[in-house]
Amino acid sequence: MKKLLIYILPIIFSLALCIQVNAEVTGNCVNCHTMHNSQGDSDMATYGGTSGENSCLTRGDCIGCHAYDTSGTVNVVNLIPQIWHNGAEDLAAGNFKYISTDTDANDNKGHNVFAIDQEGDASMFPSPGDQHDTGITQTGDTALTCAGKYGCHGDPDVADETTSMKGAHHADDSTIDGLSPGTSYRFLKGVLGLENPATAWQNVNKDDHNEYKGAANQGTSSRASPANGTISGFCAECHGFYHGSLGTETGGAASPWLRHPTDFVLPSIISKEYQYYNGGAGGTAAADYSMLAPLARPDLATITSTSEINPGTDIIMCLSCHGAHATKYYKLMRWDNQNNMSGCVICHTSKN
């Protein structure tokens, strides 16, 4: 019996791992699609409480499936990650519940996707740091969406958010190459990364988290293409002035920076405080990966230890400080930045 278990258990674990790594949807078509939005005289496109015809014959829009039960307490329903739920465990990108109550104070805790919660501050449109004329507006047909031309996921050249995701859920994403939405990290077209292999959708601890692509220079993103395939380059599609190499906006390629650098290697030189990242020993000595202020990797294929950060190699990114969807803190910060600098001092080690 023991021998049998020895053979069977690895197979079960491998299968489970494959299911989690690969986002390619499996199962019956009817789980997600409806031909006529009608079955037995009942509407079928009702996911998330919605009712109506959707592009691509889906039974729900983005929110319908990925915020299936906003009062529910689980963050994954039927293998579908719930970006807005009422549970305690946020996904890696956060939880849109933090902006879902319509107060200005909550508006600033996340990206104000119009279908979830309208941003109340008109000065936030177009997107702050907008270098590439996103055309995103506070309300109307060009308001912020989950996907498409006015959103983050899917094909940025397609206006309709569901259509922009066409085929993405069916793509073989065993190789993330950024060439299509389906083969891009989290369907963020052009972005590279490694999706958490152990605990799907969450960043749990230093041993169990997503890996983000970074680069040693900012490059220049466009509205539809992230520079260097990095997560920061992707943010720059809408917030370009915060990231690009434009000297008058970011300072160019080195100190003095005009805005906080991203896609910049954490310095390991001994005259700088950054060498002691997260309590490290200094120089290029590896330190524990910080969940509060994580860094990106220059080469996802050669990460020596996912639980460690190497000053002089690993890279500051937008997500070093911010969540992607929404967090419980002001300005999508990973920590309560209004009241403490606990995340800042992970890198700025002499400021503790």
Partner 1 sequence: MNNMKTIFLCLAILILLVGSISYAGTYLDSAHGTQNDSIAGVSRLSSYTDGHCAHCHEQHASIGGDEPPPDLPASPDDYLLFSDNHTGQTVNFCFDCHRGPTGGYQTGGLVNRSYSYRAGGWTSDTLDDILQAFTYGPPTSPTSSSSHNLDDIKLFITDKWGYSANSNPCTACHNPHAAQGDPANQPNSTKSIITRGWPVTLPSKHGSLISTDILWGDGSGEKMSDYATGYTYQAPYRFGSTTHYEPDGSTTTDGTNLTDYVTFCTDCHHYSSPPVSTRLTIPPDTNLKDIVWANSIHGGEDSWNRDDAIERKAPYNAAERNYVLACTDCHEPHGSSNYSYKIRKVVNGGITAVNGNTNADWDTLCSRCHTKTHEAAPVDHPCINCHYHGAPFNATKSLF
Of 310 and 349, the one with the shorter C-beta distance to partner 1 is 349
**What is the nearest approach in angstroms of partner 1 to the Cβ of residue 280?**
11
Whichever of 61 and 107 has its CB closer to partner 1, that residue is 107
Helix %, strand %, coil % of the chain (to 5): 30, 10, 60
Tell me the C-alpha distance between 168 and 300, whole Å.
22
CB neighbour list of residue 194: distance below 8 Å, 6 or more residues apart: 176, 185, 210, 211, 300, 303
Please state the closest distance from residue 282 (CB atom) to partner 1, in A: 8
- Tell me the closest approach of the beta carbon of residue 259 to partner 1, in angstroms: 5
Closest approach, Cβ 273 to partner 1, in A, equals 6
Alpha-carbon distance 220 to 214, whole Å? 14
Least Å from the CB of residue 348 to partner 1: 8
- Using DSSP's 3-state secondary structure scheme, residue 296 falls into strand
CA distance 46 to 40: 14
Q: How many residues does the chain have?
A: 352
| Rounded least distance, CB 309 to partner 1, Å | 18
Q: Shortest gap between Cβ of 117 and partner 1 (angstroms)? A: 16
Dihedral sign computed on CA atoms, order 265, 271, 275, 276: negative
Of residues 119 and 173, the one with the C-beta less far from partner 1: 119
Residues that bind partner 1 (CB under 8 A): 108, 121, 123-125, 128-129, 239, 241-242, 248-251, 255-260, 271-273, 276, 282, 321, 330, 337-341, 344-345, 348-352
The CB-of-48 to partner 1 minimum distance in angstroms stands at 30
Nearer to partner 1, 209 or 334 (CB): 334
- CB nearer to partner 1: give 33 or 348: 348
Spatial separation of the C-alpha atoms in residues 24 and 338, rounded to whole Å:
40
Between 124 and 300, CB nearer to partner 1: 124
Instruction: Check residue 134 and give left, alpha or beta (phi > 0: left; psi -120 to 50: alpha).
Output: alpha
What's the half-sphere exposure (Cβ side, CA atoms, 13 Å) at 286? 10
Q: Which of 282, 286, 326 is nearest to 306 (CA)?
A: 286
Nearer to partner 1, 37 or 330 (CB): 330
In this complex, which beta carbon is closest to partner 1, that of residue 124 or of residue 159? 124
Phi and psi, residue 342, nearest 5°: -60, -30
Are residues 192 and 179 in contact, defined by beta-carbon separation less than 8 angstroms?
Answer: no
Angle at 156 between CA 152 and CA 157, to 5 degrees: 165
